[in-house]
């Protein structure tokens, strides 16, 4: 009996303890749920009471240049392969590789002795024939006197006159041989035909060179001035031709491969006489003074041709322009520091600025950074106001 009472007492104690644990668990769960709900409400209500930080810029009135961009390469104004015009042994090279040489500067020498010998022979032959001519002329004068005295027949006089003319022809031929020998001797001294930069030496001293050699001795490229050949779409050709006919000198600016650094400024020189049907482009050539050697032959550049300038247009940073499937728009900051969505019409974009045709007035402020957090009516705080850049 005592064992039964003790067993029932233990059962009731265990049940009471279980109920107490359940009550404590429910209380703790409700407490935690309440704290979480309170924290969630605080987080939701917190940002609504704060302004969204953004970067803004004021729309400005200014001028904007209109450019045509094209890929191009630098082409030397002149490229000359210096070759020997006579056959002989190369005995002297007077230039350094990569050196800038002037027109007429002596570059190399070929052994002149064979040509000096030829000149001596030609001069000797001409002296001999000149002596024969002088003697023939003296005889002619004698025959003329004798013929006037009726001492010689007319045929003998005519023969002597013909002989004089023959010797005159021989002397002229000898003079040609002398001039040719002198020319060959001059050709043994190889000079630069233009001012430019010499490349790597193609023939070493001591080699026998020929006038028929294909490679030549060295290549000279004229770097000042220098040209850039680039292509633009054929649709832009009428505008370019119109500017040229009106007498305008169109500036061309050469940029590096990344289009970040301006290398040189030149002017449009000529337009190709046909359009490439495979690409629908036309080639243009611009000339650059290249006084600082900014451009180098076969260098890849991005050419920008200035064809027009928009005056007194509304300019904003391109970062402010947003796009939707329907139109382009900007976030305009109103006087009460809230934003509104404004649809705009873009006139032209160039680099980091955009010209607005409709939808925005000068001095209005637009958001350039932080637009991902904005909705119409959002209150904002400008982190740093900037003005839209202007370019003349």
Evaluate whether 342 touches 332 at the Cβ level (below 8 Å): yes
Determine the Cα angle at 319 with ends 315 and 323, to 5°.
100
Evaluate whether 382 touches 51 at the Cβ level (below 8 Å): no
CATH of the domain at 116: 1.10.287
Structural domain includes residue 83 = yes
Interacting residues of 241 by C-beta distance below 8 A, sequence separation 6+: 271
Structural domain includes residue 154 = yes
244 shares its domain with 360: no
CATH of the domain at 367: 2.40.420.20
Whose tokens are 């991902």? That residue is: 372
90 shares its domain with 210: yes
pLDDT at res. 324: 86
Backbone angles phi, psi at 162, to 5 degrees: -65, -40
Q: What is the number of domains present in the chain?
A: 4
pLDDT at res. 48: 46
- Beta bridge mates, 338: 379
pLDDT at res. 29: 57
276 shares its domain with 290: yes
d(CA 380, CA 52) in angstroms, rounded, equals 5
pLDDT at res. 15: 66
| Half-sphere exposure (Cβ direction) of 11: Cα atoms closer than 13 Å | 6
Structural domain includes residue 261 = yes
d(CA 224, CA 194) in angstroms, rounded, equals 11
Structural domain includes residue 247 = yes
Mark which of 306, 333, 368 sits at the end of a domain: 306
Structural domain includes residue 225 = yes
103 shares its domain with 198: yes
pLDDT at res. 31: 54
CATH of the domain at 284: 2.40.30.170
Global confidence as pTM: 0.67
Residue 116 CA, chain-centre distance (Å), reads 49
pLDDT at res. 240: 92
335 shares its domain with 349: yes
Structure tokens that stand for 328 in this block: 């382009």
Whose tokens are 């991005």? That residue is: 302
Q: How far is CA 190 from CA 10, 104, 160, in A?
A: 125, 9, 47
pLDDT at res. 392: 41
286 shares its domain with 328: no
Digit-by-digit pLDDT tens for the chain (392 residues) are 555 555 566 666 676 666 676 677 656 656 555 444 444 444 444 444 478 899 998 889 988 888 999 999 999 999 999 999 999 999 999 999 999 999 999 999 999 999 999 999 999 999 999 999 999 999 999 989 888 888 889 999 899 999 999 999 999 999 999 999 999 999 999 999 999 999 999 999 999 999 999 889 999 999 999 999 999 999 999 999 998 998 889 999 999 988 889 999 999 999 999 999 999 999 999 999 999 999 999 999 999 999 988 888 899 998 889 988 888 999 999 888 888 998 998 888 887 889 998 888 888 899 998 888 888 888 888 875 544 444 44
Range(s) of the domain holding residue 372: 53-66+311-387
Segment (H or E) for 347: strand 339-350
Could you count the other beta carbons within 10 Å of the beta carbon of residue 91?
14
| Closest to 142 (Cα-Cα) out of 152, 130, 155, 133 | 152
84 shares its domain with 212: yes
Dihedral sign from CA coordinates of 354, 320, 258, 196: positive
d(CA 238, CA 161) in angstroms, rounded, equals 73
Structural domain includes residue 16 = no
Structural domain includes residue 257 = yes
Determine the Cα angle at 179 with ends 174 and 184, to 5°.
125
359 shares its domain with 369: yes
Could you count the other beta carbons within 10 Å of the beta carbon of residue 225?
16
d(CA 267, CA 252) in angstroms, rounded, equals 5
Structural domain includes residue 12 = no
291 shares its domain with 165: no
d(CA 22, CA 14) in angstroms, rounded, equals 13
164 shares its domain with 229: no
**Does residue 327 sit in helix, strand or coil?**
coil
């Amino acid at each position: 009996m005592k064992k039964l009472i003790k067993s029932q007492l233990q059962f009731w104690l265990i049940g009471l303890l279980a109920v107490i644990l359940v009550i404590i668990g429910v209380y703790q769960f409700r407490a935690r749920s309440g704290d979480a709900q309170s924290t969630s409400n605080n987080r939701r209500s917190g940002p609504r009471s704060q302004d969204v930080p953004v970067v803004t810029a004021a729309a400005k009135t200014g001028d904007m240049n209109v450019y045509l961009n094209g890929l191009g390469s630098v082409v030397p104004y002149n490229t000359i392969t210096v070759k020997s015009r006579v056959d002989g042994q190369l005995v002297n090279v007077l230039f350094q590789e990569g050196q800038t040489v002037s027109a007429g500067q002596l570059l190399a020498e070929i052994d002149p002795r064979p040509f000096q010998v030829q000149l001596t022979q030609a001069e000797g032959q001409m002296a001999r024939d000149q002596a024969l001519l002088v003697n023939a002329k003296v005889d002619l004068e004698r025959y003329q006197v004798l013929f006037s005295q009726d001492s010689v027949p007319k045929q003998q006089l005519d023969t002597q006159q013909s002989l004089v003319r023959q010797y005159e022809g021989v002397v002229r031929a000898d003079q040609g041989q002398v001039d040719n020998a002198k020319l060959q001797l001059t050709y043994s001294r190889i000079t630069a035909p233009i001012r430019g930069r010499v490349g790597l030496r193609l023939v070493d001293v001591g080699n026998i060179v020929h006038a028929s050699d294909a490679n030549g001795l060295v290549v000279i490229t004229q770097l000042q001035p220098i040209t850039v050949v680039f292509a633009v779409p054929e649709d832009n050709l009428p505008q370019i031709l119109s500017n040229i006919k009106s007498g305008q000198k169109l500036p061309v600016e050469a940029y590096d491969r990344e289009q970040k650094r301006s290398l040189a400024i030149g002017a449009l020189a000529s337009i190709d006489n046909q359009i490439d049907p495979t690409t629908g482009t036309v080639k243009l050539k611009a000339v650059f003074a290249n006084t600082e050697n900014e451009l180098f032959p076969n260098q890849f550049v991005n050419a920008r041709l200035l064809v027009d300038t928009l005056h007194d247009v509304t300019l904003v940073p391109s970062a402010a322009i947003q796009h939707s499937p329907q139109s382009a728009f900007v976030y305009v900051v109103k006087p009460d520091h809230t934003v509104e969505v404004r649809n705009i019409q873009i006139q032209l974009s160039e680099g980091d600025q955009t010209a607005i045709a409709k939808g925005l007035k000068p001095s209005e402020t637009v958001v350039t950074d932080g637009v991902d957090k904005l909705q119409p009516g959002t209150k904002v705080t400008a982190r740093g106001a900037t003005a839209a850049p202007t370019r003349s």
